[in-house]
Amino acid sequence: MEAKTATGAIIASKLRSDFRERYGTEAKVVRAPGRVNLIGEHTDYNDGFVMPVAIEPGVWIAIAPRADRKLRAYSQNFSESAEVDLDESHPRPHGHWSDYVQGLAVMLQKNAGYQLRGANLLIFGDLPIGSGLSSSAAIEVATGLALLENSGSTINRVELAKLCRGSENEFVGAHVGIMDPFISCNGRAGHALMLDCRSLDYRLLPIPDGVDLVICNTMVKHALATGEYNTRRAECEEGVRRLSQRLPHVLALRDVSVEDLDRYGKDLPENIYKRCRHVVTENVRVRDAAAALEKADLAALGRLMAESHVSLKDDYEVSCLELDLMVDIAAQIDGVYGARMTGGGFGGSTVNLVDKKAVPDFQRRVVSEYEKGTGLMPQIIVSTAAEGARDVEA
Ligand code: GLA
């Protein structure tokens, strides 16, 4: 069952009573968390390594069965309802939040063979949307669990993560990797999760007491994010195509070592070489970071986070002025072990590992210096490492 944070319990109980008011029946409630990624950025779709953490903000869904074959969903964030026909013969996305609900229903029924029941759903999220904290994975995972629960079915968490990625890739049309739904499904309180995105083997690494995860939302959403994300994927594939001519065992950038790249990288076009160098060195950093976390060596982890940010900025070119400023401000503050951009980039948020005692001063300084530098008021979220998706007991 969901470990009850005070806010989580209040949200779930409010959702139950709102559900009663809207639909006139009792409901079950599930919650799926958002995430930050400590290190391992743009490596998941290269079969590499990532180290995400589930966070307290997430998506809650209240659900109860309907007699017909419809899903009737109401989003409290958008103050809007939507209807999905479970028997629709040619389901199509509409560029609407309900695509995430419909996509999961399609994947569960058509790809995984589940027989779903109709349902009323009430959805609420306290994750800022489009801020690099995986609000889309959270709604997908919560929808998947809620629809299965409502239909009397269960699912293996790795399978659910794969179906959520499938929904994004095949239904919604975003070519994202497995990291976000995987951590939302499998996160553990107090732990980061080190995931091998090829085998999907993972291990949980305890985050030492005494540090908080502090998320700084730049409040910037860059319009080019989706297009540039797809371009980076294509550049990585091009790198694989070229390098595999010399190194036939290379199926993904995961298979390229730093030595391989030193040796054969000079034949690559400059931009492809830089993208490959980020991915290849980032994979090494994630493994080093796992070793550092295992020894509770936060100083070493912090150094790797700083190197990761520089690599994302200079080689992968997915940072932006606001993210760089946010990281620079954090790096000057006492009690900060590590700071870097997190998620896809081009805006969104940074993740900071901050000594608990230093958090109030950190918040004050980030707000004042970031506002001075950009004219924008950042959003700061302090979180512990939270549980993965769960039913929430009444
Ligand atoms: C987004 C995608 C993930 C991952 C990150 C970058 O969050 O959803 O799959 O590729 O970007 O690490």
- The pLDDT > 70 percentage for the chain reads 98
For position 268, which CATH number holds? 3.30.70.890
As for how many domains the chain has, the answer is: 2
Query: Tell me, what DSSP letter sits at residue 110?
Result: I
The answer to whether residue 1 sits within a structural domain is: no
Q: Give pLDDT tens digits for 321-362.
A: 999 999 999 999 999 999 999 999 999 999 999 999 999 999
Tell me how far apart the alpha carbons of residues 6 and 341 are, in angstroms, rounded to a whole number.
28
Q: Give pLDDT tens digits for 89-147.
A: 999 999 999 999 999 999 999 999 999 999 999 999 999 988 999 999 999 999 999 99
Residue 7 pLDDT level (bands cut at 50, 70, 90): confident
**197, 223: one domain:** no
Ligand 1 center to 44 CA (angstroms): 7
Segments forming the whole domain that contains residue 273: 211-383
* Residue 159 CB coordination number (10 Å): 12
**Ligand 1: which of 46, 176, 226 to mutate, most ligand atoms within 8 Å of CB?**
176
Tell me how far apart the alpha carbons of residues 301 and 306 are, in angstroms, rounded to a whole number.
9
Of the candidates 218, 211, 206, the one whose C-alpha atom is nearest the C-alpha of residue 358 is 211
**334, 283: one domain:** yes
Alpha carbons within 13 angstroms on the beta-carbon side of residue 186 total 26
Which residues are annotated as catalytic? 180
Tell me how far apart the alpha carbons of residues 71 and 77 are, in angstroms, rounded to a whole number.
18
Q: For 194-211, what is the mean pLDDT?
A: 97
Give the three-class secondary structure for 63: strand
**16, 135: one domain:** yes
Evaluate whether 108 touches 139 at the Cβ level (below 8 Å).
no
Atom of ligand 1 at shortest distance to CA of 177? 9
Ligand 1 center to 201 CA (angstroms): 18
Protein residue whose Cα sits closest to atom 8 of ligand 1: 176
As a whole number of Å, the end-to-end CA separation of the chain is 11
Residue 130: its pLDDT value, please? 87
**85, 172: one domain:** yes
Evaluate whether 22 touches 76 at the Cβ level (below 8 Å).
no
Whole-angstrom CA distances from 151 to 181, 241, 393 are: 21, 44, 18
Tell me how far apart the alpha carbons of residues 344 and 219 are, in angstroms, rounded to a whole number.
14
Residue 224: its pLDDT value, please? 62
**192, 291: one domain:** no
Residue 69 has pLDDT above 50, yes or no: yes
The answer to whether residue 272 sits within a structural domain is: yes
Residue 4 has pLDDT above 70, yes or no: no
The verdict on pTM exceeding 0.75 is yes
Q: Which two tokens stand for residue 338?
A: 């590590």
List strands edge to edge, sheet with 347-355.
Answer: 336-342, 347-355, 211-221, 379-383
Residue 3: its pLDDT value, please? 44
**290, 179: one domain:** no
**Ligand 1: which of 35, 179, 228 to mutate, most ligand atoms within 8 Å of CB?**
179
The answer to whether residue 322 sits within a structural domain is: yes
Atom of ligand 1 at shortest distance to CA of 43? 12
**166, 233: one domain:** no
The answer to whether residue 307 sits within a structural domain is: yes
**221, 102: one domain:** no
Amino acid sitting at position 225? A
Q: Give pLDDT tens digits for 34-59.
A: 999 999 999 999 999 999 999 999 99
Ligand 1 center to 171 CA (angstroms): 17
**163, 51: one domain:** yes
* Cβ partners under 8 Å of residue 115, min gap 6: 109, 151
**31, 158: one domain:** yes
**Token pair 């730093």 is at which residue?**
258
Ligand 1 site residues (CB inside 6 A) read 41-42, 44-45, 176-177, 179-180, 343-344
The answer to whether residue 43 sits within a structural domain is: yes
Atom of ligand 1 at shortest distance to CA of 168? 8
Q: For 252-280, what is the mean pLDDT?
A: 97
The answer to whether residue 302 sits within a structural domain is: yes
Evaluate whether 338 touches 332 at the Cβ level (below 8 Å).
no
**58, 173: one domain:** yes
Ligand 1 center to 45 CA (angstroms): 8
Residue 223 pLDDT level (bands cut at 50, 70, 90): low
DSSP string across 165-234: HHIIIIII-----SHHHHHHHH--TTEEEEEETTT--EEEEEPPTTEEEEEEEEEEE-TTHHHHHHHHHH
Residue 9: its pLDDT value, please? 87
For position 198, which CATH number holds? 3.30.230.10
Q: What is the mean pLDDT of the chain?
A: 96
Tell me how far apart the alpha carbons of residues 213 and 277 are, in angstroms, rounded to a whole number.
28
| Burial label, 70 (beta-carbon count in 10 A; 0-12, 13-18, 19+) | middle
**Ligand 1: which of 38, 42, 127, 340 to mutate, most ligand atoms within 8 Å of CB?**
42
Evaluate whether 243 touches 268 at the Cβ level (below 8 Å).
yes
The answer to whether residue 269 sits within a structural domain is: yes
Ligand 1 center to 290 CA (angstroms): 19
The answer to whether residue 254 sits within a structural domain is: yes
Element (H, E) at 163: helix 157-166
Q: For 167-173, what is the mean pLDDT?
A: 94
**317, 195: one domain:** no
Atom of ligand 1 at shortest distance to CA of 41? 12
Amino acid sitting at position 390? R
Q: Which two tokens stand for residue 79?
A: 């103050």
Biggest alpha carbon distance in the chain?
67
Amino acid sitting at position 32? A
